[in-house]
Amino acid sequence: MANLQTTIKNTIKSSINERNELPFAVYSSIKEQNLLNVPIVKPLLVVVLSGCKELGKNHELICHAGHFIFLSDSPAINMRNIPKGEEYFALLIEFDYQDFNGLQNNVVNKQHYCMGETTPILEQCLQQFVESALWAPKNLWSSRKRELIELLCYMGHKEILSMMANAKLGHRLHDMFCKHGFYELTNEHICQQLAMSESTLRRKLNSEGTSVQEIKDQARLSLGLHLLQTTRQPISLVAEKCGYQSQSRFTDRFKRRFGLTPSELRKTKMAD
């Protein structure tokens, strides 16, 4: 199994160098990362290939290398990414709700997570998924993700189907901010895109326990965390891409949310 994990890691690193846009992400570090209040916007598969991942307020969920955790959407969850003798290295695959279309959910209560071993058959499927990212057009990504869902169900993890609840309005709004940016997307433009009045928009978001501003702030900081984890872009450029007019303001908001500054996070990825 260790050889398969090494093969997947090498394939992933090659894929990252070959193509800018990919149907997966990689989070890695050579020093421990302790992150607070990390939002999970959509169902997320995290496959730990080396190191260890701990989740929860008291780090009650532990996912070692050779295992995976499938997470439901959550407004905030604490995480520790821990290198153990080598780098922490995890493959992340985010699922859209349409990836679950046609799959029958017989689980009555929604589950917030499921964990399991990354078996050889799952590793082979992940290997093929990563390899296909080099040639598959974007409109095929959903079908490849669906294969992973069906395989996990076949392996006995049908509880992940309970995580396919209908996408909330907040999810759509989050996607709009990430796609159109954080400067141009006004409330008027949002209402036009969603074909609803501003009062209806506020009412529906209020029923979900959120607001336009909260979603915007979460989307900005989520993007910032993602860019800091997956690119080497200067922090000033990351701040600009997240819609902040100054790096200092971005740093302040980032630390308030996640418990550490962008530069502190970056240092976990660099040798002394």
Class in CATH terms, 2-163 = mainly beta
Name the most confidently modeled range: 2-6, 45-49, 159-163, 189-193. Answer: 45-49
pLDDT for the residue 82: 97
Could you read off the pLDDT of 100-125 as tens digits, one per residue?
887 877 766 778 899 999 999 999 99
pLDDT for the residue 236: 97
Residue indicated by tokens 């990212």:
133
Percent of the chain exceeding pLDDT 70 equals 94
Backbone angles phi, psi at 204, to 5 degrees: -70, -40
Could you read off the pLDDT of 26-64 as tens digits, one per residue?
999 999 999 999 999 999 999 999 999 999 999 899 999
Percent of the chain exceeding pLDDT 90 equals 66
Query: Is the pLDDT score of 1 beyond 60?
Result: no
Q: 169-267: what fold?
A: Arc Repressor Mutant, subunit A (1.10.10)
CB 49 within 8 A of CB 92: no
Which pTM does this prediction carry?
0.92
pLDDT for the residue 107: 64
CB 104 within 8 A of CB 161: yes
d(CA 61, CA 57): 9
At 164, is the pLDDT very low, low, confident or very high (cuts 50, 70, 90)? confident
Domain ranges of the chain: 2-163, 169-267
Give the helix ranges, DSSP H, for the chain: 2-18, 120-132, 141-154, 169-180, 187-194, 198-207, 212-230, 235-241, 247-258, 262-267
At 222, is the pLDDT very low, low, confident or very high (cuts 50, 70, 90)? very high
Q: Which two tokens stand for residue 135?
A: 């040639």
Instruction: Enumerate residues 6+ apart whose C-beta is below 8 A from 205.
Output: 169, 170, 173, 211, 212, 215
pLDDT for the residue 166: 62
